[in-house]
Every structure is written in structure tokens, then in C-alpha cells.
């Protein structure tokens, strides 16, 4: 059997780390895109020790830095002929509005646009590998609105939860667009809500945002449980026909009405291409 080559972001903690471990145990060759190489090395050695799989590699990639993403893609293209699975897992929620060196609001960049650029640049390898692209979204998308006139929160009062919810809504638009545009070339895509996972996610929040996390805590699951849905989409058989869909608990679920807005989906795609144009 040929080895499955999988690229994953956000694999040094939480769902990403548990997903990487499960896939390593299944024999995948893993390329971990990390922004903290020391933590990445610790994670790599831990995964090797637990899985007995030596095919685990680190690539530096900061999703808040578009040049870093381009450099990471260059390394992957020089190392690989094809990619079979891309897991866009990394994410974050930020208490205060921050702007990346490229001028993008941090929540938008890390949760959405960085992965958009990464996927766009890797598409030749994804096509060769007839790949599955898995975007870790969230049921928080149901609170999200596509504020196309103020994507960077320059005018509206910044809200951590609203910014996060919008980014997760965009993950679903992105998933559907990949299915539509690249399905004929053999690339499938899936979005999922992994569950509300009990990790350090959201540390530093205050006020109503902190209260939201506190209220959700009794319903939280472990990172290992949250990874199960990602692993299913990465390895499950007979799911290609469900490309473009939103998953929860291993099954297709209906996303919000806003998430099915094709005009908004197409508009986001075009705006995203314009934003990354100077970078490709």
C-alpha cells in the first residue's frame, strides 16, 4: 500500500496533536506546519515515540505571515510529489484586535486567509494526490456574518467572538468553493465542527467572551474525542460524494442559512484572491 502523505497545521496541541497521533499510528507520512520549532520538535519526538512511525517532519509556517506560508510551500514542493490530505486545523481567538505584518486582522488571517493562501499554493500537489482538504470550522459559524465592507474590523467595534464566528463561516464558504472548483480535478473538501474541546483555546479573553467559554465548559469534550471527526474525514471510505459538506459527530449536518449563500461564497473567493494576489 502506498503511504498517505498528510500536511497539517496546528499540530502541536489540542485537536491537531491528537489528529496527528492517530494518523501517525495509521502509517501516514506527516508534515507538521508549526510556528514554534522547539515545541514542534517536542511534539514530533512524542508522536514518533507513541506511534513508532518515523515519517514525521517539521516545516516552519506562521499562518499570520504570508511570506512564511510561501516559504513553507516552497519547502513542501521541493520535498513532495503529491499530497493526499491537507488538514487546515490551526486557529485562534484574540481578546484584542491585532493586525498582522501584511495588514490583516489576526483572527481573519490565522483562521481563514492563511489557510486560503496555503491551500491555493499547494493546489498542484493536492491535484496530483487526489487530495482531501479538511477545514476545521465550528458551530460558532452560526453566529457569523460576512461583513464584506469591514473584513479587518477597522470600522466596527472589534468583538473576539464575532470575528471568530465570521472566520469560521468563511471556512465553510471556502470548503464549498474547493469542492465546486477542484472537484472535477479529483480534489475533495470537507468542513467540520469537532465539538467544543477542553483545551487552552480562548485563554486571555474577558467579559462576555470569557462568559461564553465558561458556559460551554460543562459540555466540553477531550481533544482526543474532538480529533475523531477529523480522522474520519481524513481516512474514511466512500465519503467523496459528500465533498463540500459540513460534518458534525461524523455525519453531514446542515450549516447555518448564511453558510449556504452562494453569492456570498463566490464574493469571498474573489476577494480572497485579490488579497493574496501580491503574494503569489
Nine-digit cell string for 192: 467540520
State how far the Cα of 259 lies from the Cα of 265, in Å rounded to an integer: 8
Please work out, in degrees rounded to the nearest 5, the angle formed at the alpha carbon of residue 122 by the alpha carbons of 118 and 127. 140
Nine-digit cell string for 212: 461564553
Q: Could you confirm whether 173 is annotated as catalytic?
A: no
Residue of 31, 112, 164, 173 marked active site = 164
* CA distances from residue 9 to 43, 123, 183 in whole angstroms, order as listed: 13, 16, 23
How do strand 188-193 and strand 132-136 relate by DSSP bridges?
parallel
- For the chain, first and last CA: distance in Å? 35
Closest by alpha carbon to 191, among 133, 152, 236? 133
- Report the C-alpha dihedral over residues 214, 230, 18, 45, rounded to 10 degrees: -140
Closest by alpha carbon to 182, among 224, 129, 223? 129
Closest by alpha carbon to 34, among 18, 58, 6? 58
Do 152 and 104 form a contact (C-beta atoms < 8 A)? yes
Give phi and psi for 244, each to the nearest 5: 90, -5
State how far the Cα of 73 lies from the Cα of 65, in Å rounded to an integer: 13
Q: What is the helix (H) or strand (E) element at residue 244, kind and residue range?
A: none
Q: Which residues are catalytic?
A: 164
Amino acid at each position: 500500500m502506498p503511504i498517505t502523505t498528510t500536511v497539517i497545521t496546528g499540530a502541536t496541541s489540542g485537536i491537531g496533536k491528537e489528529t496527528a497521533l492517530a494518523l501517525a499510528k495509521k502509517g501516514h507520512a506527516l508534515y507538521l506546519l508549526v510556528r514554534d520549532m522547539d515545541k514542534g520538535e517536542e511534539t514530533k519526538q512524542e508522536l514518533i515515540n507513541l506511534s513508532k512511525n518515523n515519517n514525521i517532519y517539521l516545516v516552519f509556517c506562521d499562518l499570520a505571515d504570508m511570506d512564511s506560508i510561501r516559504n513553507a510551500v516552497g519547502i513542501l514542493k521541493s520535498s513532495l510529489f503529491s499530497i493526499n490530505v491537507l488538514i487546515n486545523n490551526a486557529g485562534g481567538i484574540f481578546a484584542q484586535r491585532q493586525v498582522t505584518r501584511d495588514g490583516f486582522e489576526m483572527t481573519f488571517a490565522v483562521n481563514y486567509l492563511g489557510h486560503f493562501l496555503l491551500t491555493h499554493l499547494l493546489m498542484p500537489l493536492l491535484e496530483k494526490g487526489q487530495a482531501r482538504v479538511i477545514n476545521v470550522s465550528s458551530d460558532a459559524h452560526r453566529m457569523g456574518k460576512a461583513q464584506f465592507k469591514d473584513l479587518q474590523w477597522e470600522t466596527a467595534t472589534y468583538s473576539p467572538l464575532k470575528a471568530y464566528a465570521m472566520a469560521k463561516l468563511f471556512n465553510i464558504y471556502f470548503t464549498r468553493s474547493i469542492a465546486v472548483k477542484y472537484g472535477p480535478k479529483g480534489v475533495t473538501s470537507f468542513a467540520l465542527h469537532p465539538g467544543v474541546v477542553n483545551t487552552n483555546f480562548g485563554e486571555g479573553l474577558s467579559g462576555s467572551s470569557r462568559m461564553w467559554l465558561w458556559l460551554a465548559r460543562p459540555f466540553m469534550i477531550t481533544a482526543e474525542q474532538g480529533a475523531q471527526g477529523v480522522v474520519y474525514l481524513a481516512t474514511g471510505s466512500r465519503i467523496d460524494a459528500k465533498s463540500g459538506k459540513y460534518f458534525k459527530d461524523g455525519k453531514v449536518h446542515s450549516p447555518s442559512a448564511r453558510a449556504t449563500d452562494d453569492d456570498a461564497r463566490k464574493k469571498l473567493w474573489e476577494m480572497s484572491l485579490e488579497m493574496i494576489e501580491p503574494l503569489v
